[in-house]
C-alpha cells in the first residue's frame, strides 16, 4: 500500500498536467472551442484559456508533489465536476458530438466520451481523497 497510493497519486496528477500541456499545442484550437462552444468573446478567451491551462498544470503539480494534497484533490474534483456538468448540459442540448478540447487537438473526445472519462477520474480522485 505504501507504493500503490503514491503511484496512483502521481498518475492522477500527471493526467492533469498532460491535459493542460496538450491544450497548449496549439492553443488556438482550445481558444476556438471556447469561443464556439462556450460562447466566450474573443477578448476574454485568451485570459480564460490560459487560466484553465495554468490551473490544470498547477493542480497536477501539487498532486504529484503532494503539496497541500487534500486541497489539491478537492480543487481537481471541483474542476472535474464543473466540466462534467457543462458537458452534460452540452450533450443534453444536442451539441455533444463535437470535440470538447479536453486533451487539446491530440486526443479528440466528444461529449459522452469526455463525461465517461471525467466520471472515472472523479471516482479515482475521490478514492485518493478518501485515503489522503
pLDDT in tens, 64-108: 999 999 999 999 999 999 999 999 998 998 887 788 888 888 888
Is residue 55 predicted with pLDDT exceeding 70? yes
Q: What is the pLDDT of residue 1?
A: 65
Q: What is the pLDDT of residue 99?
A: 82
Cβ proximity of 84 and 71 under 8 Å? no
Torsion of CA 13, 122, 106, 49, to 10 degrees: -80
Mean pLDDT of the chain: 92
The answer to whether the predicted template modeling score (pTM) of the entire model surpasses 0.75 is: yes
Read off φ and ψ for residue 102, nearest 5 degrees: -60, -35
Read off φ and ψ for residue 28, nearest 5 degrees: -60, -35
Rounded average pLDDT over 103-128: 91
Cβ proximity of 120 and 46 under 8 Å? no
Alpha helices by DSSP H, listed for 26-110, are 27-33, 45-64, 69-92
Q: Which among 108, 46, 105, 48 is positioned nearest to 82, based on CA atoms?
A: 48
CA pair distance 126, 124, nearest whole angstrom: 6
Cβ proximity of 20 and 56 under 8 Å? yes
Q: Is the dihedral of CA 41, 87, 47, 23 positive or negative?
A: negative
- Which region among 49-53, 55-59, 89-93 has the lowest average model confidence (pLDDT)? 89-93
Amino acid at each position: 500500500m505504501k507504493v500503490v497510493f503514491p503511484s496512483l497519486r502521481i498518475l492522477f496528477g500527471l493526467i492533469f498536467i498532460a491535459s493542460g500541456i496538450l491544450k497548449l499545442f496549439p492553443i488556438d484550437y482550445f481558444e476556438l472551442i471556447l469561443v464556439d462552444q462556450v460562447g466566450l468573446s474573443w477578448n476574454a478567451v485568451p485570459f480564460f484559456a490560459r487560466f484553465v491551462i495554468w490551473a490544470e498544470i498547477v493542480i497536477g503539480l501539487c498532486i504529484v508533489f503532494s503539496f497541500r494534497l487534500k486541497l489539491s484533490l478537492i480543487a481537481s474534483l471541483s474542476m472535474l465536476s464543473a466540466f462534467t456538468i457543462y458537458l452534460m448540459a452540452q450533450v443534453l442540448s444536442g451539441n455533444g458530438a463535437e470535440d470538447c478540447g479536453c486533451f487539446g487537438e491530440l486526443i479528440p473526445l466528444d461529449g459522452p466520451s469526455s463525461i465517461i472519462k471525467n466520471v472515472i477520474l472523479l471516482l479515482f480522485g475521490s478514492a485518493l481523497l478518501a485515503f489522503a
